Amino acid sequence: MGTQHQKDDDVDLDTDDENVQESEKWKKHYSSNQKILLVGEGDFSFSLSLATAFGTAHNLVATSLDSQENIGKKYSNGISNVRELEERGCLVLYGVDAKEMSNHFFLKTQRFDRIVYNFPHVGFLYPENSHCQIQLNKRLVKGFLSNAKVVLRKEGGEIHITHKEGDPYNKWDLVKKAEKRGLVLVQVVPFFKDDYPGYDNKRAHGKLSDATFIIGESSTYKFKLQND
């Protein structure tokens, strides 16, 4: 898939209406005018990076599988990031399982323009390249895609998964998993952490949950509904 040119970061789109308080702002693929669901957030630093760029978080819903108590235990900046997000208008939800989120009492009533899951991973239960570990991660991605398509806005909605490239990650069959669920690949673009100031990709599991991991070569895969 060819890489299309993205809008420049933090572009204010001109408006003729002087009564409009805030113009649209962009951070890479994401706009302050989009309703965005963030799934599997670690210390919520990615959500906060978007909120900082937009100047608001009223368009964001940020979720984690962890409880608020666990966020405080696992991440040095987790609670402070959440507080800042909430002050900016973000809805933060805890205990949200990516594989079951379409049944969540609030999320099932919503439709989102963008659903974002960065580096989905079940945790380091087996060696990364072992069959068991790969199967568990495939099951996570499969469950996420099945649920995300339910709460995705039909017109123009996109599901974004940021994913490491190369072995063993290519064995997750991300594109094939999406196609089997009625989703088509729109675009694959390189992912660079520096595009999102303040974002810290966390290991999220075990004693080193607050440590970052090497991203290496990674890409954001964008999917839309087949009939869109």
| 21 in any annotated domain | no
| 184 in any annotated domain | yes
Rg of the chain's alpha carbons, rounded to an integer? Answer: 17
The reported pTM is: 0.85
CB neighbour list of residue 45: distance below 8 Å, 6 or more residues apart: 77, 81, 198, 199, 200
| 13 in any annotated domain | no
| 20 in any annotated domain | no
The token pair at 98 is 């990516």
| 141 in any annotated domain | yes
| 89 in any annotated domain | yes
Alpha-carbon distance of 37 to 30, in angstroms, equals: 11
Span 97-131, pLDDT tens digits: 999 999 999 999 999 999 999 998 877 777 778 89
Q: Tell me the CATH number at 172.
A: 3.40.50.150
Residue ranges with strand state E in 89-203: 91-93, 114-118, 158-164, 183-190
Span 180-193, pLDDT tens digits: 999 999 999 999 98
| 15 in any annotated domain | no
| 8 in any annotated domain | no
- Containing domain of residue 32, as a range? 26-225
Q: How many domains does the chain have?
A: 1
Q: What is the percentage of the chain residues whose pLDDT exceeds 90? A: 54
Burial class (CB in 10 A: 0-12, 13-18, 19+), 227: exposed
CA–chain centroid gap for 171, Å, is 21
Span 8-50, pLDDT tens digits: 444 444 434 444 446 888 788 899 999 999 999 988 999 999 9
